[in-house]
A and B are shown apart, each in its own frame.
Chain A
């Protein structure tokens, strides 16, 4: 069942990739119109996973050593900003280029 689900998702993504190629003959702008939200979605997914991992490590650190909460909060905020920057780069690219 899981394999079938992945197959369907994969086929859907592949169809997303192929459609602009076919449609390019009559509308050149449609490729980026479809690819840009997809790029943003992939970037947001990766950014979300990475931020979740960082936050989890931070929470574990605070749970083990509540005295270090100030230092950990500082590094968490700084690290989240760096991770977020990768998604923001994609956003700027998608929105302006």
Chain B
């Protein structure tokens, strides 16, 4: 799996290695591994794109880019309304950023010269651990320390010691399953395309690439939907009294 990606090679040669050299680190090989270069490119691209788009946002005369992005954010908001609860808009920034970041990261691997940063377990673990810390932080913030801990222990006191341990293990399995799911899908997809390219050059891997485009979108979507479910599970009950009629939405469940 140690291919050369010429984008990362060029980036290292002309940007990263000189910067490292300025700080006194002189090496012959690349300073940054390929997935870190891709992360940097995606982050810089997304930030500059957002700053660029921000100045030309308008209510009266939305452009094509704004409209297509509004389509995405409306769809995400629609899911969040059902899964997270009434104050879902508070959590939209992290969901939207994660979605765009993972989506672009997944699709970037199909461009020659680039790799998917999400085909590296460290990148997906980073996203998953951030999600884990984020939803637990908001659980503690919404309910307070002891009430959120009691939320792990279940309804009855007799079974609480057993249930508490099981819940803790289940919650610890969440970042693991999130990261391994995303990583496994994208890595397998890249592996298949690479080996098909090795068997028969060029045209045979094209239909697989179409499938990979579809799977990339689905995986980014699943990642953020699971994030929504986890956040919803952590901050629920907060508005239970005002929104009694929406209690059926809790039947969505909180899978590990």
**A residues adjacent to B (C-beta < 8 A):** 74, 77-78, 81-82, 84-85, 88-89, 91-92, 95
Contact = CB atoms under 8 A, between A and B. Distances in A.
Q: Across chains A and B, which 9 residue pairs bring their CB atoms closest together, nearest first?
A: A88-B184, A81-B222, A85-B181, A92-B184, A91-B184, A91-B188, A92-B180, A85-B177, A88-B181
A36 B218 CA distance: 28
Secondary structure of the B side of the interface? Answer: helix
Contact of A88 (B79, B185, B218, B221): B185
B188 A82 contact: no
B222 A77 contact: yes
Contacts of A88: 180-181, 184-185, 188
B183 interface: yes
B225 interface: yes
Nearest to B183: A92
Contacts of B221: 77
Nearest to B229: A78
Contacts of A89: 180, 184
A82 B185 contact: no
Contacts of B177: 85
A78 B184 contact: no
B198 interface: no
7 contacts: A74-B225, A77-B221, A77-B222, A81-B181, A85-B184, A89-B180, A95-B187
B245 interface: no
B180 A77 contact: no
Contacts of A84: 181, 185
B93 interface: no
User: Chain B CB within 10 Å — which of A78, A81, A84, A89 has the most?
Assistant: A81
A77 B218 contact: yes
B180 A85 contact: yes
Contacts of B79: 74
Nearest to B218: A77
A91 B221 CA distance: 22
